[in-house]
A and B are shown apart, each in its own frame.
Chain A
């Protein structure tokens, strides 16, 4: 991990609420992996003060792509940066997703901006010859952003939205069961929704399929020193407090306490 000043190659709005940013990452020394994140300074002033954690959407040879939801002051400020300007990214940070060589098919359950986080994983799975089945959930069809990217990674994609009245947990449960009945899924992955994570955790337990979850939390430092972004995991019969930024953001779906 390191703080890098990287050149912005592109920063544009891709839907009503989402933006897509590409940076020149040729200076990044570390190996960047899906599930990891960068803590990004959204401007050069003290307001907003703190960096914002962004998961990586696409990892390319010399560039990194981020798909972000414009939510508050930080992301609003980020949209003001233009191609050619430099942006300070600190990372890569955190524990990435892990795929096993023997995995044949994985299932992704993503909601909202969590789709971006899991798209990076689908890219890696594709490179490893692992098939991906993905359920994408969003408010509107317009927000189902990475669908094309997922298709390009050979993924089988199911889409649900509020707009179409298909995104309720019950419907997702049925889709999940249908997929699991018809595919041999080796590993489950989720990001972006607590309700859907609880659902997947239950189904994974029922069917004995291991899973991983990428958590989101307000962060202070992003490097494990401030203890702002903690959550609980259940391990060996006891609850342990862990740091999302350093011990995660990817955790075992079985262990994470989603209460």
Chain B
């Protein structure tokens, strides 16, 4: 590294990353190894894993909306056995940290899966996907309730020494309260956030455009909401934040850093531009050079609020 090269490394609750860009679970996978070099990423995050194999939801599972897309995949999964025997060994050839995203139907199942993964050496951290809309429960998710969030994170904390990233849902009245519940329960970082519960209807057929009726909105359309939530969480929590929702370019990532994120997850952008994450890392580096910024920390939470009335939380 030459003296003028900015330092892109970040610390996510004890997890050292070479740069702040990683994929969002569900929008990244082995098939992308032909398009980008995974070793250039901050981390890799394979698709959320469930304990048992799951078939997923009826099609259509995605639909496009203005500046965004709705998805309801239903966490189609081959189960944790397949994950341990096939998915994790595949990623061993990469040097970047692997974050295991886990999704479960009960607190007990989260704990059980965290315990299983605790024993796997090449998993650098756990991401608790407490925010995927559980459509069976009318869109309610674990992460919509402070007490359940606390209980879930607390119990997982009890069985793992790996850093815990708690992926919050944006579909809440007060994200600060949920963030604090996760922090108080022992989370090491917060992912803010996930897709926004949404719906679209075809006016020719009068049917919902998603097989499962409702789904999660992602893409550029949601970014301002996520930037706001990052800002709000950063106001009350000491934990590092990973911004997730509508990051398409380096500019979007920098905006999230200014709001208080330490890193970003990239989802929908990978579908539009398969090299989006690599382009983003280059773009952040260029921005830092142009603005003479030495470290990512020089940007994190540095939104300038002078002359603007701060909204009391």
Contact = CB atoms under 8 A, between A and B. Distances in A.
B31 A48 contact: no
B248 A46 contact: yes
Given A218-B59, A218-B62, 7 more contacts: A1-B34, A3-B35, A90-B274, A217-B60, A221-B27, A225-B30, A230-B76
Interface string A206-225: 00000000000111111111
B231 interface: no
The 9 closest A-B CB pairs, nearest first, are: A225-B29, A224-B31, A228-B62, A223-B31, A228-B61, A221-B271, A220-B62, A227-B76, A46-B220
Contacts of A230: 56, 59, 61, 76
B26 interface: yes
A217 B63 CA distance: 11
Interface string B6-31: 00000000000000000000111111
A79 interface: no
B79 to A, nearest CB: 13
Contact of B64 (A3, A49, A231): A49
A121 B48 CA distance: 38
A2 interface: yes
A51 B62 contact: no
Interface string B49-88: 0000001100111111011110101001000000000000
B225 interface: no
Nearest to A217: B59
Contact of A220 (B55, B69, B221): B69
A41 B274 contact: no
A1 B272 CA distance: 14
B174 interface: no
B35 A223 contact: yes
A46 B29 contact: no
Given A2-B35, A227-B76, A50 B59 contact: no
Contact of A49 (B59, B67, B275): B67
Interface residues of A, number: 29
A49 B273 CA distance: 10
Given A49-B268, A224-B31, A225-B28, A3 B274 contact: yes
B71 A246 contact: no
A50 B31 contact: no
A27 to B, nearest CB: 16
B62 A225 contact: no
B271 A3 contact: no
B275 A3 contact: yes
Contact of A223 (B32, B60, B76, B220): B32
A41 B248 CA distance: 15
B122 interface: no
B217 to A, nearest CB: 11
Contacts of A229: 59, 61
Contacts of B133: none
A79 to B, nearest CB: 18
B273 A222 contact: no
A241 interface: yes
Contacts of B271: 50-51, 220-222, 226
A219 B221 CA distance: 19
Contacts of A31: none
Given A49-B68, A49-B272, A51-B271, A218 B63 contact: yes
Interface string B240-283: 00000000100000000000000000001011111100000000
Nearest to A219: B62
A186 B248 CA distance: 48
Contacts of B64: 48-50, 73
Q: Which of B66, B76, B274 has the most CB of A within 10 A?
A: B274
B160 to A, nearest CB: 26
A241 B34 contact: no
Nearest to B53: A241
Contacts of B63: 218
A196 B34 CA distance: 36
14 contacts: A49-B68, A51-B272, A218-B62, A223-B35, A224-B31, A225-B32, A225-B47, A226-B26, A227-B26, A227-B56, A228-B59, A228-B73, A230-B76, A241-B55
B289 to A, nearest CB: 26
B163 interface: no
A41 B276 CA distance: 14
Contact of A50 (B29, B66, B272): B272
Contact of A241 (B26, B60, B76): B76
A46 B66 CA distance: 8
A188 B268 CA distance: 37
A218 B60 contact: yes
B219 interface: yes
B124 to A, nearest CB: 20
Nearest to A220: B62
A147 B248 CA distance: 42
Contacts of B66: 47
Most B CB contacts (10 A, CB to CB) among A50, A223, A225 go to A225
A41 B271 CA distance: 10
